[in-house]
Amino acid sequence: MKAKHQRLVLVVIALLAIVGAGLLAAWSLRNQANYFYLPEQMAATPPDIGQAVRLGGMVQPGSIRTEADGVTVNFMVTGNTADAIPVRYSGILPDLFVEGSGVVAEGSLGPDGVFLATNLLAKHDENYVPKELEGMGTQQAAKVAAETTVGLVQ
């Protein structure tokens, strides 16, 4: 066999190996994908029970209820329509989790239609100010921030 044909065979084998590795990786990760749902999408076409998804929307005002154990919280997530999805979460709530704020809940839909969250990500709006800087003027806050970063750079 000529050297030219040997190189061609090696290139074809290498391409097949790369395609095979890609297909194998895609097949093994197929159940790891988290799909993102808005409340109106989840109400219209709910995911399979137990499928890992993310639910994003706003915490409905007046809907946060803490159960007797003090750790489990029930609330409603709303979107752009009147659809609201009930959510149950057991764990420590993020500091920014309040009524009317944005939230992304990771978890799965239960058989009773309640979204069982395993992780909550709270969002803040563009007017967010850290607790340490609340009540400070713009110049004073900039001075504190500059002092903090100077300590980090050195």
Question: How crowded is residue 55: how many other Cβ atoms within 10 Å of its Cβ?
Answer: 25
Cα(60)–Cα(148) distance, integer angstroms? 36
**Annotated domain spans of the chain:** 35-122
Q: CATH homologous superfamily for 35-122?
A: Nucleic acid-binding proteins (2.40.50.140)
pLDDT tens by residue, 46-99: 888 888 899 999 999 999 999 998 899 999 999 888 889 999 999 888 888 888
pLDDT of residue 116: 95
Region 103-121 average pLDDT: 92
Q: Is 5 annotated as a binding residue?
A: no
Backbone angles phi, psi at 4, to 5 degrees: -65, -40
Q: Bridge-partner residues for 65, per DSSP? A: 74
Pairing status of strand 35-37 against strand 65-66: unpaired
Q: Is the pLDDT assigned to residue 27 strictly greater than 70? A: yes
Q: Is 37 annotated as a binding residue?
A: no
